[in-house]
Structure 1
Amino acid sequence: MALDKIVPEDLNWLHTDEGPDDSVSHTKTTLVGTSLSVPITGGNLNLGTWQGIYLTEFRHVAHSRRVVATILS
């Protein structure tokens, strides 16, 4: 809901080359980011009590995605 307030779909978007949700999804992705670094301790993700990892899709039309994990030790 917060992202919908910050980036409303009903703005007069100019960039809609890939579809009507194109600009909205690109802008939300810019705010949220596309990569993540997480420490691993003892073979486990070292996240805080209230932290989690969430994959999001901001487009209305489903797309296939690939997730790439690079683990450095």
Structure 2
Amino acid sequence: MQQSQTRFTISTQGQALYEFTREVADWISDTGIETGLLTLFCRHTSASLLINENAAPAVKRDLLRWLSKAAPEGDTYEHDDEGPDDMPAHIRTMLTGASLSIPVADGRMVLGTWQGIYLAEHRAMPHRREIVAHLLGERVSEV
């Protein structure tokens, strides 16, 4: 069994979905691990990770609109230390999650045709978000 770990830093410009599938795929390729399990973990409480469609831009807009309705900004929250988007960001993170597990086969993530990996930024202000990636698996031995 082999392991590899890295960190991805994603600079955000406010509430949006930021795809970073290609960066993860390139790193996996560099590890030489062909079969295993990838874990991605977001080290923040107001940003999250998700897998969703990466072909139709309307999907991202609809997801963001739904999240804003599910956890709207406003003055109804006790926790508002960093402004009106503070507590809604925590709720949106709770709804979408801080980690992902993705199988790896033949040196590539086993994602569906239209699936991409996204960082969901739930805050209005720009941030630098850190994602920890851990890959556990095996290299195919050469004959």
Query: Residue type of the partner of 1:27?
Result: I
Structure 2 residue 101 is matched with structure 1 residue 33 = no
- The alpha carbon displacement at 1:14 in A equals 1.1
Name the structure 1 match of 2:108: 44
More strand by share: 2
**Equivalent-residue separation in structure 1 for 2:72 and 2:78 (angstroms):** 14
**Equivalent-residue separation in structure 2 for 1:63 and 1:25 (angstroms):** 13
Structure 1 unpaired stretches of 5+? none
Residues 1-73 of structure 1: pairs in structure 2 closer than 5 A: 1-10=65-74, 12-73=76-137
- The alpha carbon displacement at 1:11 in A equals 5.5
TM-score (norm 1): 0.89
Give the percent of matched residue pairs that are identical in Structure 1 and Structure 2.
49
Structure 2 unpaired stretches of 5+? 1-64, 138-143
TM-score (norm 2): 0.48
How many residues get paired?
A: 73
Deviations 1:35-71 (A, max 9, x none): 0000111001101123221111100011211111000
Say which SS state the counterpart of residue 26 (structure 1) adopts: helix
